[in-house]
Chain A
Amino acid sequence: MTTPEAISDAIRAFIVENFLFGDTSQDLGDDVSLIEADLVDSTGILELVAFVEERWGIAVKDADIVPANFDSIGRIAAFVGKRAGLSQAA
């Protein structure tokens, strides 16, 4: 269910829907910096965090909301995979 690809696809769909308003012409590769490429604005990251928390039932701390975890689809997917995995194991 929560394969890395499925997580990436869900995040990509959320970004297209909420930040690009359905525009699928932009490069949304796993490694593209969401901020540097202007895909998500500064207040948008918080919306992404809220989406991740609700969709995968993860509690995200302030210290987690850093570029290493949230500045690309690949990084968000890795973060979700790690945290969702932890909560299942617990």
Chain B
Amino acid sequence: MRVEQFLHHSAAHAPAKTALVAGATRLSYAECAQKSAALAATLQHLGVKRDDRVLVFMDNAAEAALAIFAVLEAGATFSPINASTKADKLAYIVGNCRPRAILTQKKLAPIATEASAGKDIALLVAGTPEWEAALAETVPVAPHGGIDSDLAMLIYTSGSTGRPKGVMMTHRNIDAASASITTYLENTPDDIILNVAPLAFDYGLYQLLMAVRLGATLVLEKSFAFPAAIFETMRREKVTGFPLVPTMAAMILQMRDLVPGALPDLRYITNTAAALPEEHIQRLRALFPGARLYSMYGLTECKRCTWLPPTELDRRAGSVGIAIPNTEAYVAADDGAPVAAGVIGELVIRGPHVMQGYWENPTATAERLRPGRNPWEKVLFTGDLFYADAEGFLYFVGRKDDIIKTRGEKVAPKEVEAVLHAHPGIAEAVVVGVPDPVLGQAVKAIVVRTDPALGEGDVIRHCARALEDFMVPKAVEFRTELPKTDTGKVSRRLAAASLEFT
């Protein structure tokens, strides 16, 4: 099934039901279907054809949800871009996937304009008269002939090489992943899901896709900066589902006046992106006694890998569980053969949710997608080290590469180092993740400066001009030399080890 059919079906079943609440905006399923179809017709009028790429460069606004479905409705492929992306990186993505159009919002339009300068790319900005006219378009969407084997989205993820890679997902991939996840969460059309995760992050994006698939209601928020205000919204909207990342859990647990049962309608909480400390799991369960807590693990390349049934939480709080329904997950040796319980190896994922590869990057694709059980299929090597217990429950051990997980987002040290090296006052730099109680890991830069006047603030400011917020180092340490291996190569591992003793 194609993903825009989720919206068609829900709009046909319950046209008057609230699909989306975003700030002061409330949209019914009928309104969402009408507006995204109108926007789709406008996109076609602007020259967007089947399989063209369209960037959706917005924060968590109602317009972003409409834009995503509009792109699919037009037969094209959407790519959701984090709203804190700077012009240089956006220009890289534009060059990489050559979009036909960019849908954005007023505050981001200058960045989109800069990144697409000199290229034949249509720009449509939410909140402008052109946007309003697009939503009022009455010309029907032209048939495009697309089927569910076509690409639905390209979602860019940080790679260890330092350049973002576009993960290719077909409609069928999304259909499979969303069917599997809504099965184990036991979602129903009565669910009301509150999402603050960015729609450019697959965890946030899938809250939208799954809510529309179910005919449920999505309450979309832009930020978790004010947890008390979010909780007020949750009480008012009678929210039943609350997806978290560990940083949000840490912020909730820092609240002082929260009493158990403050969210009486809450049916489930999910956590992914990084493991919750066991103490946080216990405190969350005490605060929200009526809610089941799901520990999950996944990566953009297959959306979600595993889930821990909440009934197992007391026995194996440190586990991320078992393969999600209709998929397989196993620990493998370097040759790809499954290993015995207790043995550490690389987690391998098999199933209909596994990506088609990285956009125009066969080398990186071949590293992750390798021959599998049958001659006609590929399985996903996750790059994450795991072991399984005797009953098959999986435990995360660490990553095979140096990717840092901070605030639930992946940061490639090389991407940050490339920006540091571009500073004229910096000779050498290495970037590592250091433990942080709220962020999980904090990005830290170790720098050898040639300009003695260069301070920590200068370095951070320089990074903030080029990198998304979550990639900007939280701390900078100056040294006269960087830790190197015997062969003279700067070593991130030795750098991280050297910090443990400081």
* A residues whose Cβ falls under 8 Å from a Cβ of B: 20-23, 35-38, 40-46, 61-67, 70-71
CA separation between A35 and B227, bound complex, in Å? 13
Q: Does B485 sit at the interface, judged by CB under 8 A?
A: no
Is there contact, CB below 8 Å, between B256 and A35? no
Residues of A within 8 A of B469 (CB): 38, 41
Bound-state CA distance A49–B236 (Å) is 25
Task: Encode contact with A along B218-236: 1 for CB under 8 Å, 0 otherwise.
Answer: 0000111111110010000
Complex contact B228–A62 (CB within 8 A): yes
Secondary structure class of chain A's binding surface, majority of residues: loop
Q: With both chains docked as a complex, state the minimum distance between the C-beta of B283 and any C-beta of chain A, in angstroms.
A: 15
The 7 closest A-B pairs by CB, nearest first: A21-B457, A42-B225, A22-B457, A62-B257, A21-B460, A45-B225, A66-B229
**Contact between B251 and A42, CB atoms less than 8 A apart:** yes
Extra contacts, 11 of them, besides A35-B222, A43-B439 (Cβ < 8 A), are: A21-B457, A22-B457, A42-B247, A43-B225, A43-B251, A43-B407, A64-B228, A65-B227, A65-B228, A66-B229, A70-B226
Complex CA gap A21/B407 in Å reads 20
Known: A45-B225, A65-B227. A21 touches B456 (CB 8 A): yes
State the CA gap A60–B222 with chains docked (Å): 23
Interface pairs (7), CB distance under 8 Å = A22-B461, A37-B107, A38-B84, A41-B225, A62-B227, A63-B228, A66-B229
Chain B residues in 8 Å Cβ range of A61: 256-257
Which residue, of B229, B254, B255, B438, has the highest number of chain A Cβ atoms within 10 A?
B229
User: Which chain B positions have C-beta within 8 A of A36?
Assistant: 107, 222
Contact of A62 among B107, B247, B255, B438 (CB under 8 A): B255
Check if A43 sits within 8 Å of B438, measured CB to CB.
yes
Q: Are B224 and A42 in contact (CB under 8 A)?
A: yes
Shortest A67–chain B CB gap in Å is 6
- Chain B 189-233 against A: per-residue CB contact (8 Å), 1 yes, 0 no? 000000000000000000000000000000000111111110010
| Least distance between B34 CB and chain A CB atoms (Å) | 28
B418 interface residue, CB < 8 Å from A? no
In the assembled complex, the Cα of A40 lies from the Cα of B224 at a distance in Å of 12
Please, how many angstroms separate the alpha-carbon atoms of A41 and B470 in the complex? 9
B464 within 8 A of A: yes
Q: Using Cβ atoms and an 8 Å threshold, which residues of chain A touch B258?
A: 62
Instruction: Knowing A21-B456, A38-B84, A62-B257 are in contact, say whether A44-B461 is a contact too (CB < 8 A).
Output: no
Q: How far apart are A12's CB and chain B's nearest CB, in angstroms?
A: 16
CB of B19, distance to nearest CB on chain A (Å):
24
From the candidates A20, A21, A40, name the one contacting B225 in the complex (CB within 8 A).
A40
Q: Which of A22, A42, A46 contacts B223 (CB 8 A)?
A: A42
Nearest residue, chain B, Cβ from A65 = B228
Contacts of B256 in A (CB 8 A): 61-62
Instruction: Please name all residues of chain B whose beta carbon is closer than 8 Å to the beta carbon of A43 when the two chains form the complex.
Output: 225, 247, 251, 407, 438-439
User: B456 near A67 (CB under 8 angstroms)?
Assistant: no
Nearest chain A CB to B461 CB, angstrom units: 5
Looking at B226, B257, B458, the one whose CB has the most chain A CB atoms below 10 A away is: B226
Establish whether residues B457 and A65, one from each chain, have CB atoms under 8 Å apart when the complex forms.
no
B411 to chain A, nearest CB (A): 14
Contacts of B84 in A (CB 8 A): 38
Inside 8 A of A20's CB, which chain B residues have their CB? Answer: 461
What residues of B have a CB within 8 angstroms of the CB of A62 in the complex?
A: 227-228, 255-258
A41 to B227, CA, bound (A): 13
The minimal Cβ–Cβ distance linking B234 to chain A, given in whole angstroms, is: 14
Please give the distance in Å from B81's CB to the nearest CB on chain A. Answer: 15
Closest B residue to A38 using CB positions: B84
Q: Which of B222, B226, B247 contacts A66 (CB 8 A)?
A: B226
* Whole-angstrom CA separation of A66 from B230 in the bound complex: 9
Expressed in whole angstroms, the Cα–Cα distance for A44 and B247 within the complex equals 12
Residues of A within 8 A of B223 (CB): 35, 42
Distance from B395 Cβ to chain A, minimum over Cβ atoms (Å): 28
In whole angstroms, what is the CA distance A37 to B502 when docked? 36
The residues of B that contact A37 with a CB separation of less than 8 Å are 107
B247 with A21: CB separation less than 8 A? no
Report the minimal beta-carbon distance from B425 to chain A, rounded to whole angstroms.
Answer: 15
Bound-state CA distance A20–B465 (Å) is 11
Residues of B within 8 Å of A45, CB to CB, are: 225-226
Residues 357-387 of B contacting A (Cβ, < 8 Å): none
> In the complex, A20→B256 CA distance in Å?
28
Q: Is the CB of A35 within 8 A of B461?
A: no
Min CB distance A23 to B, Å, is 5
* Contact between A46 and B251, CB atoms less than 8 A apart: yes
**How far apart sit A37 and B342, CA to CA, in the bound complex (Å)?**
49
Once bound together, how far apart are the Cα atoms of A53 and B42, in whole Å? 51
In the assembly, what is the distance between CA of A11 and CA of B458, in Å? 21
Closest to B231 in A: A62
A23 nearest CB neighbor, chain B only: B461
A21 close to B229 (CB less than 8 A): no
Cβ B461 vs Cβ A63 within 8 A:
no
> Which residues of the other chain, A, contact B232 by a CB distance below 8 angstroms?
66
Q: Which residues of A contact B254 (CB under 8 A)?
A: 46
Specify which chain B residues have a CB less than 8 angstroms from the CB of A42 in the assembled complex.
Answer: 223-225, 247, 251
Interface string of B435-476 (1 = CB under 8 A from A): 000110000000000000000111011001000010000000
